[in-house]
Structure formats: structure tokens, C-alpha cells
């Protein structure tokens, strides 16, 4: 019904039909408005209660940053920052130039002022320990002096025990050892 018809030309029955049709339309639109208002009362879709990705969520309001007054606080490489200096260093090196870097005039002890202090940590040089192994099978002097007096069985047993002893030492002794500072 795009336009309202002229009510003066309608009969009483036509007016009743028009009122019923408009009443039905009002009822359906009222129900639709109530359903939409109910949806407005529901919480909106967020990544927490729906399948929205986290990037679609609303970001919280951040408080405004307070403007810093003065220089920023110390950090590494600046005064007041970094690790504490050693209380008792092993060695102190003082660097005092002999002449001014600008005019090359000579400097005295009164001209020198402490500009800064820092610690330099040197790690000791690590050198490997290389053990030398000497194989020295032992034979009794009496047996060495007269090899013809030994029985063949004794000679064979002596050679065998020396060989076993040497093999055991070479397999059990580790050829490399952990490196230690010298």
C-alpha cells in the first residue's frame, strides 16, 4: 500500500478491511522492533564471546603519558647506570697525558682531573694441558742379565704381562684432559 486511499470515497466495509490490514502490519512491525531492541540489550560480539579473531577486539583506553621533566634517568653507558664498579681492583691504571691534545702545551699533576672510572675485566688465557705418556715395561735385572737361564714359559709370561699392562694403561688413561688455566 504505497499511498493512503481517499477515505471519503471508501465504504464502511472497505474502511474496516483497511483498518484490519494496517492493524496486522502494526502488530508485525511492533514484534520486529521488540526483537531488535532485545538484540541491542545483548553484549556485542567480542573475541572473548564469539569466534572473532583477537585483532578485531576493542583495545582498552590507555592513560596519557606524563611528560618527563629534565633528562631521562641513567641507563647503561650513562652516569648512574650499569653495574657497580669493583671495590678492590687487582690493578689500577691511571692514564695521564703529557701534553694538551689541542695546543700541545705540557701538563702538570694539577692540570689532571678525574674524567671517569671504569672496570675492564680480562679473562685469563686458557691453555690446554698435554700429558706425555712413556711406555716402560720392566724386566728384573737378574732376568735381563741371563736370558738363557729363564725358561721359555717364564719369558712368554713376562712379555705377555708387560703387553697387557701397556694395553690397559693406554686404554684406561684418557689421552685428553680438561683445559685449566695455567
**pLDDT for position 174:** 47
Per the domain annotation, does 175 fall within a domain? no
Total domains in the chain come to: 1
Residue 142 forms part of a structural domain: no
- 31 is a domain residue: yes
Q: What is the pLDDT of residue 110?
A: 85
| Dihedral angle computed from the Cα positions of residues 165, 168, 173 and 175, in that order, rounded to the nearest 10 degrees | 100
Q: What is the pLDDT of residue 173?
A: 46
| Residue 41 placed within a domain | yes
* Residues in the chain with pLDDT values less than 50: 164-182
Q: Is residue 44 part of a domain?
A: yes
Provide the residue range defining the domain that includes 15.
11-51
For position 119, what pLDDT does the model report?
A: 81
Residue 120 · residue 88 · CB < 8 Å: no
Amino acid at each position: 500500500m504505497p499511498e493512503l486511499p481517499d477515505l471519503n470515497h471508501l465504504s464502511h466495509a472497505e474502511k474496516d478491511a483497511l483498518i484490519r490490514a494496517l492493524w496486522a502490519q502494526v502488530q508485525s512491525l511492533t514484534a520486529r522492533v521488540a526483537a531488535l531492541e532485545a538484540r541491542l540489550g545483548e553484549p556485542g560480539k567480542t573475541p572473548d564471546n564469539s569466534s572473532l579473531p583477537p585483532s578485531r577486539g576493542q583495545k582498552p583506553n590507555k592513560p596519557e603519558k606524563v611528560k618527563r621533566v629534565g633528562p631521562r634517568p641513567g641507563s647503561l653507558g650513562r652516569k648512574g647506570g650499569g653495574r657497580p664498579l669493583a671495590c678492590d681492583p687487582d690493578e689500577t691504571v691511571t692514564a695521564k697525558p703529557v701534553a694538551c691534545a689541542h695546543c700541545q702545551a705540557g701538563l702538570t699533576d694539577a692540570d689532571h682531573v678525574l674524567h671517569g672510572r671504569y672496570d675492564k675485566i680480562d679473562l685469563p688465557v686458557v691453555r690446554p694441558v698435554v700429558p706425555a705418556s712413556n711406555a716402560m715395561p720392566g724386566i728384573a735385572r737378574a732376568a735381563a742379565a741371563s736370558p738363557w737361564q729363564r725358561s721359555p714359559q717364564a719369558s712368554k709370561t713376562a712379555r705377555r704381562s708387560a703387553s697387557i699392562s701397556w694395553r690397559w694403561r693406554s686404554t684406561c688413561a684418557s689421552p685428553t684432559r680438561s683445559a685449566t688455566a695455567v
